[in-house]
Amino acid sequence: MNAAHAKYEFIPKPMKTGAFKQFPALHGSYMTYGRLILADLLGDEDQFLYLDSDLLVGRDINELLQINLKNNPLGAVVDGGRIDFALDKQFFFSRGFDAAEPYFNAGLLLFNAELWRHENLAKKCIALCNDCHMELVSHDQTVLNYFFLREVIHLDGAFNVSCYPTTDLMSEHSVGSQILHFKGSPKPWDAFGNILHANYRHFKKYLDETAWPHGRKFDLHQLFRVINLRRSYLRSLYARVKTASQKN
């Protein structure tokens, strides 16, 4: 925002997650379910854009803010996603969905907040969470797809591009025309992410422009994260070693 010389105001909105404690946690946090109540929390907005915290925004998001969702609840990137590729596919198969139906990622969502409030969609989503909380493999993303995969407006795939630790190194031009979604683990900012993440340098370029160019120091929380995600770390290490050996 500063780089774009845009006027903005940062207004924190407290969110209570106590109502989500019976749902499956995501890495120990229940904040992901907050997406379901954002329209109520931002009661003055008719439409708004939600961005995950693990995105690198290289493309102007103003294009998204100009989209008219009309009578659709959400806009999201599908870009080849299908139910049979999803982690929670059994949830959908058991409810009669077809394997080839499009499935969207919830890391970037354009909300029709007016429609959400008018039709009380948050209550509808929370009710499903309560009924099926043991089946929510992908947490609230499962719920959002269950209700809206046939109503979602498909956004340009460049606004939510998957970037895993082992994704081939992307060019500067490519990163500057997309929104990268750092999926999987380790993330570039995780412990040893500078070694194990193939696209770390793009993250570092943006990090250097912030007030925290050195990132966070290794602490007990990060140690526990490494232990909990040790399989992902080992896969990433193997991929990096394999790539290095092929180059030699």
Query: Are 170 and 147 members of one domain?
Result: no
- 196 occurs within a structural domain: yes
Enter the tokens of residue 123: 């209550």
Domain boundary among 139, 158, 177: 158
- The pLDDT of residue 244 is 83
Provide the number of structural domains found in the chain.
2
Per-residue pLDDT, 4? 52
Are both 174 and 132 inside the same structural domain? Answer: no
Q: Does the pTM of the predicted model rise above 0.95?
A: no
Kindly state whether residue 234 falls inside one of the protein's structural domains: yes
pLDDT attached to residue 17: 87
Do residues 30 and 139 touch, judged by C-beta distance below 8 A?
Answer: no
Q: Are residues 213 and 174 in the same domain?
A: yes
30 and 115 share a domain? Answer: yes
Closest CA to 198 of 241, 248, 245: 241
| Same structural domain, 50 and 27 | yes
Flag whether 13 is in a domain: no
Residue 111's pLDDT is 98
Residues 6+ apart with CB under 8 A from 209: 3
Longest dimension (CA), the chain: 60
Query: What is the identity of the amino acid at 144?
Result: L
**Domain end residue (candidates: 113, 135, 158):** 158
Task: Assess whether 39 and 151 both reside in one domain.
Answer: yes
CATH number of the domain that 112 lies in?
3.90.550.10
Report how far residue 198's alpha carbon sits from residue 201's, in angstroms, rounded to the nearest whole number.
Answer: 8
Exposed, middle or buried: residue 155 (CB in 10 Å: 0-12, 13-18, 19+)? buried
Same domain, 62 and 151: yes
**Per-10-residue mean pLDDT for the chain, 248 residues long?**
64 88 92 96 94 95 93 94 95 97 97 97 97 96 98 96 95 94 96 96 94 86 92 94 82
Domain coverage including residue 240: 160-247
Task: Decide if 233 is inside a domain.
Answer: yes
140 and 165, same domain (yes or no): no
Residue 89 sits in the same domain as residue 168? no
**In the block, residue with structure tokens 């990268």:** 180
